[in-house]
Amino acid sequence: MELYMIRRTSAWAETSELERTAAESARIGNEEMPDKVRWIRSCVIKEADGRLGTCCIYEAVDGDAIREHARCVGMPGDDFLPIAATVVVRPDPG
């Protein structure tokens, strides 16, 4: 599997909406596509328009699997970019 970064810009109006989508995303990934995609983590972003976006890290067999997962969940994906390397300066603060 390869690592991908997915940007979802201004996709949710409020936290509860994002939480519902996240639960469905985890369910579909874990139950329906475990051999194709693995959700690693997401950062929630306060967008300039007041909505919420995300920057997500996934493992996937290829970009098509990432697109299929997003389509099955019903969530957008503005950019699907393969990650070439990771530079860790210090551990995540929490």
**Predicted confidence (pLDDT) per residue in 20-74, tens digit:** 999 999 999 999 999 999 999 999 999 999 999 999 999 999 999 999 999 999 9
What is the reported pLDDT for 40? 95
pTM: 0.87
What are the chain's domains?
2-82 (3.30.70.3090)
pLDDT of residue 25: 95
Contacts of residue 89, defined as CB under 8 A and 6 or more positions apart, other chains included, come to none
Question: What integer pLDDT is reported at residue 92 of this predicted model?
Answer: 82
46: buried, middle or exposed (CB in 10 Å: 19+, 13-18, 0-12)?
A: exposed
The whole-number pLDDT of residue 78 equals 67
